[in-house]
């Protein structure tokens, strides 16, 4: 089947999912898109078009193309600074470039090569007029590289761990996921001795404020992707590097008054996520995460940690949320909009990469 062929999306309650019983299709709900707030009028990400070209792309909330800009290779994370209409995309690890672009037009503003001896790890963030991009050296030692908007390297900040991945701004801090994995290319070399962690850095002077780890028995849970809500709570999406037959918890939460802690330990709900979460978002009400390996979107109650719903979506990974509306992109030629209990399919002329953002 072509990546652009129509895909049937289904909502699954937990019992049906775990017993593989009958799955019921959900009617398309295209009108649901209009519930997104007016200031979020487009989705920006990267992907492959029907001519097999890599592009930076934006679509409106009805799926109409706003721009498609050619890019040199596969990218991973994308972020936007709305106040200046600036965007940043970073090449997928082991990446050698990042691109600053105009988030209204897709025009490329600056090409940022990785410094000699470094590779980019796929994510960056705008902070205090600069760009912060996660990077590593040949030993996978973690760094946060600080650039000007036009791509001048300003600072190389050494991080206390291996394999950095997503970086986000959260109130007066910069939060970085340290996955703990030593890699050469895409090969993982230290699975038996991993030490993943989560760190907080002062957004002004870039000093280390805190570092937290999960208990040692969970050292093979690589901390990869992050989200924060309006209160400053942090959600962490993990990727399990242990035996495939095991299904550990994959989401951890941290707040100002509580340490990093996994939710729903020992619960059979994790079976369908295949040990792998791709993107995560956190609101005051919900935790939302995607699993491209498990072909799932999961939605949890933020306060009780109850799994509210799962949606089966082929190769879903890209994710963003505004209010109660979820938008997610797939590597199989579609994107979807959903609430906690309903889902709608929108056919796409792009195969989307791992992450995107509402702009």
Predicted local distance difference test score (pLDDT) of residue 14: 38
Average pLDDT for 197-221:
97
Predicted local distance difference test score (pLDDT) of residue 39: 59
Average pLDDT for 135-161:
97
More confident residue, 265 or 178: 178
Average pLDDT for 175-203:
95
- Residue 298's closest CA among 322, 323, 279, 325? 279
Structure tokens at 235: 């959600």
The model's pLDDT over 34-90, given as tens digits with 9 standing for 90+, comes to 334 345 689 999 999 999 999 999 999 888 999 999 999 999 999 999 999 999 999
Is 60 exceeded by the pLDDT of residue 351?
A: yes
Confidence band, pLDDT 50/70/90 cuts, at residue 5? very low
Predicted local distance difference test score (pLDDT) of residue 8: 33
Average model confidence (pLDDT) for the chain?
88
Q: Percent helix, strand and coil across the chain, each rounded to 5?
A: 10, 55, 40
Is 50 exceeded by the pLDDT of residue 126?
A: yes
Average pLDDT for 302-319:
96
Is 80 exceeded by the pLDDT of residue 306?
A: yes
Is 70 exceeded by the pLDDT of residue 317?
A: yes
Q: From CA 222, how far away is CA 242, in angstroms rounded?
A: 10
Provide the total of helices (H) and of strands (E) in the chain, helices listed first: 1, 32
Q: From CA 336, how far away is CA 23, in angstroms rounded?
A: 18
Predicted local distance difference test score (pLDDT) of residue 128: 95
Structure tokens at 202: 């002062």
Predicted local distance difference test score (pLDDT) of residue 244: 76
Is 70 exceeded by the pLDDT of residue 23?
A: no
Is 50 exceeded by the pLDDT of residue 348?
A: yes
Predicted local distance difference test score (pLDDT) of residue 34: 31
Is 60 exceeded by the pLDDT of residue 175?
A: yes
Predicted local distance difference test score (pLDDT) of residue 324: 83
Tokens 């949890």: give the residue: 300
CB 326 within 8 A of CB 297: yes
DSSP state letter for 17: H
Is 70 exceeded by the pLDDT of residue 147?
A: yes
End-to-end CA distance of the chain: 31
The two most distant CA atoms of the chain are separated, in Å, by 57
Average pLDDT for 204-230:
97
Is 70 exceeded by the pLDDT of residue 24?
A: no
Structure tokens at 196: 């993943």
Predicted local distance difference test score (pLDDT) of residue 262: 97
């Amino acid at each position: 089947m072509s990546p652009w062929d129509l895909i049937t999306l289904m909502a699954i309650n937990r019992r049906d999912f775990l017993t593989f019983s009958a799955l019921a299709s959900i009617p398309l709900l295209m009108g649901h898109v209009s519930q997104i707030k007016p200031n979020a009028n487009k989705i920006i990400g990267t992907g492959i078009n029907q001519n097999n070209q890599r592009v930076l792309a934006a679509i409106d909330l009805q799926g109409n193309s706003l721009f498609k800009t050619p890019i040199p290779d596969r990218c991973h994370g994308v972020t936007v600074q709305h106040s200046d209409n600036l965007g940043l995309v970073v090449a997928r690890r082991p990446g050698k470039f990042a691109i600053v672009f105009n988030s209204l037009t897709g025009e490329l503003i600056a090409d940022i090569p990785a410094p000699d001896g470094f590779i980019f790890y796929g994510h960056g963030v705008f902070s205090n007029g600069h760009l912060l991009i996660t990077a590593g050296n040949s030993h996978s030692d973690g760094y946060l590289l600080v650039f000007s908007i036009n791509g001048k390297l300003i600072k190389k900040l050494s991080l206390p761990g291996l394999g950095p991945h997503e970086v986000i701004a959260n109130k007066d801090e910069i939060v970085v996921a340290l996955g703990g994995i030593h890699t050469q290319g895409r090969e993982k070399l230290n699975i038996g001795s991993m030490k993943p962690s989560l760190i907080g850095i002062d957004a002004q002077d870039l000093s280390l404020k805190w570092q937290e780890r999960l208990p040692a028995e969970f050292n093979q849970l690589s901390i990869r992707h992050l989200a924060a809500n309006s209160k400053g709570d942090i959600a962490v999406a993990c990727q399990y590097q242990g035996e495939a037959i095991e299904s550990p918890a994959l989401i951890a939460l941290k707040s100002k008054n509580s340490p990093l802690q996994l939710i729903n330990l020992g619960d059979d709900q994790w079976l369908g996520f295949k040990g792998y979460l791709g993107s995560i978002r956190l609101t005051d009400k919900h935790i939302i995460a995607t699993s491209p390996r498990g072909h799932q979107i999961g939605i949890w109650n933020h306060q009780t940690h109850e799994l509210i719903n799962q949606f089966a979506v082929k190769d879903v990974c890209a994710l963003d949320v505004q209010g109660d509306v979820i938008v997610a992109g797939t590597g199989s030629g579609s994107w979807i909009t959903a609430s906690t209990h309903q889902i709608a399919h929108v056919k796409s002329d792009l195969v989307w990469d791992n992450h995107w953002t509402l702009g």
